[in-house]
Amino acid sequence: MNRASRLKAVCRLIKNNRIESQDRLLKLLEGENFPVTQATLSRDLKLLKVSKSADGQNAYVYTLPSDNERRESEKIYIQDFLRGYISIDWAGNLAVIKTYSGYASVVATALDNLGLEEVMGTISGDNAVFVGLRQGVSGADLVMRLQKSIPDLEA
């Protein structure tokens, strides 16, 4: 099963169940044919901006951010990306984003938090972000996807 399907399953399970622990969520995911490690689930929860909120019954349960909260977070990541971005180039399944000095980690964090399926991961230096692309994804694919998410992006 792919990551996008798993993330949808996590959202659905949180919306439809009272979940107090990662262990319970792991078991529910396994029951839906999504066997994952605790570390993977933690990354998924972080990516989805899942939090624990009081349920009014002396317990805390997982909750998803509202659409407004999600849009606001995405706006901030886009601003951070654009603030540091200079250019992008690629070869094979590796893209390199040039940034202003000191902005690479900000751009990498923004890219990580935008949750693009095309991106496997990022490594940042001082003025460059190395972006590992998933199998079959080209740099041109990444640029097109970024331009959908960030209309002001000039590649």
Determine the average pLDDT of the residues in 60-74. Answer: 88
pTM over 0.75: no
Q: Binning pLDDT at 50, 70 and 90, where does residue 67 land?
A: confident
For the ranges 24-28, 37-41, 57-61, 75-79, the lowest mean pLDDT is seen at 57-61
pLDDT at 114 over 90: no
33 CB-near residues (< 8 Å, 6+ apart): 1
Domains detected in the chain: 3-63 (1.10.10.10), 68-149 (3.30.1360.40)
Strands 94-99 and 128-133: antiparallel
- Average per-residue pLDDT in the chain? 92
The answer on pLDDT for 1 being more than 60 is no
Q: What is the pLDDT of residues 116-134, one digit of tens each?
A: 889 999 999 999 999 999 9
| Higher pLDDT among residues 128 and 53, named by residue | 128
Contacts of 119 (CB under 8 A, 6+ apart): 111, 112, 131, 132, 133, 134, 142
